[in-house]
Structure 1
Amino acid sequence: MAEAIHAGAEGHARLIAAADATSDDLLAAPGYLFVCPENLGTMTGMMKEMFDRCYYPLLGQVEGRPYATAIAAGSDGRGAQAQIDRIVTGWRLRRVAEPLIVNLGAQEPEAILAEKQVPQAQLQACRDLGAAFAEGLAIGIF
């Protein structure tokens, strides 16, 4: 999903894994598209760890910047979404797109453990989100 969003932005975005993102990376960005899976009803541990590392160094420095989210979920996604929204409220970020939650329907142990394939229609929604976010930044509406 992150790769599809990045492709939609057509060179107007950086794709950085949460484990590699630094507060300097986030400070240099004009906006944020947070993408992660939901694990056990919350955002993935790597995304949480990124927020833990970067939250205080950026406090008071990124207010008003736009953000959007894309969550891959087995059944719901709202837990991860709510967790991200609560964290970025402290940064005073501004949501500029409805949450994109892709429900992959993994409920049985075999499906949960299996490698997931995001349907093409959902990947297109990711590309569209990336394109719209990049365009909004480029023309100054965010």
Structure 2
Amino acid sequence: MSLAPLLIAWHSRTGASRAMAEAARDGAGEAALCLSAEQVEPDHLLAARGYLFVCPENLAAMSGMMKDMFDRCYYPVLGRLEGRAYATVIAAGSDGEGAQRQLDRIAKGWRLKRVADPMIVNFEAQTPERILADKTVPDETLAECRALGEGLAEGLSAGIF
């Protein structure tokens, strides 16, 4: 298993979350391990010092595959992650607040420490066709994701969080 200070865990159906996670990984460089939610195991969480969770909001909640990752990993690492850094990026069709609240509740249970403001990217997808369509993430948003990854990696490296 590859070990890195920053674990970027993502799930995507339309490409937006994946693109944003990969941009954050590019910003963090070798300090990051970027895995799809399906690949994340408790050992990945234990090996990392910080986390970036990137997922879409589906039906006012985080995507099912992201929730599955937390369901599989939550109890095996409970009581072993306290104080570690985390941040979030949500790909939303409208407001993204439901997924954000859900992620924050899980992080609170693990006693993680938020180190960056929530990033919610609204794609304004309100019809079935637009919701299901592949998404193109604006360049400025990808730049923000790269900067977030870089900042998380530098903060972990410097021991700031």
Note the C-alpha offset of 1:108. Answer: 2.1
TM score, norm. by length of structure 1: 0.98
Instruction: Give the aligned partner of residue 59 of structure 1.
Output: 78
Instruction: Give the aligned partner of residue 37 of structure 1.
Output: 56
Determine the C-alpha separation between the residues in 1 that align with 2:128 and 2:83: 42
What amino acid sits opposite 1:23 in the alignment? P
Note the C-alpha offset of 1:118. Answer: 0.8
Determine the C-alpha separation between the residues in 1 that align with 2:74 and 2:40: 12
Name segments (4+ residues, structure 1) moved above 6 Å: none
Determine the C-alpha separation between the residues in 2 that align with 1:89 and 1:8: 26
Q: Deviations over 1:82-106 (max 9, x none)?
A: 0010011111000000001111111
What amino acid sits opposite 1:53 in the alignment? R
Task: Give the secondary structure class of the aligned counterpart of 1:10.
Answer: helix
Structure 2: runs of 5+ lacking an equivalent: 1-19
**Is 2:22 aligned against 1:6?**
no
Note the C-alpha offset of 1:112. Answer: 1.3
Structure 1: runs of 5+ lacking an equivalent: none
Note the C-alpha offset of 1:110. Answer: 2.2
Aligned length: 142
Which structure has the highest strand share of the two?
A: 2
Determine the C-alpha separation between the residues in 2 that align with 1:50 and 1:66: 18
Q: Deviations over 1:37-64 (max 9, x none)?
A: 1111100111100100111111110000
Instruction: Give the aligned partner of residue 135 of structure 1.
Output: 154
TM score, norm. by length of structure 2: 0.86
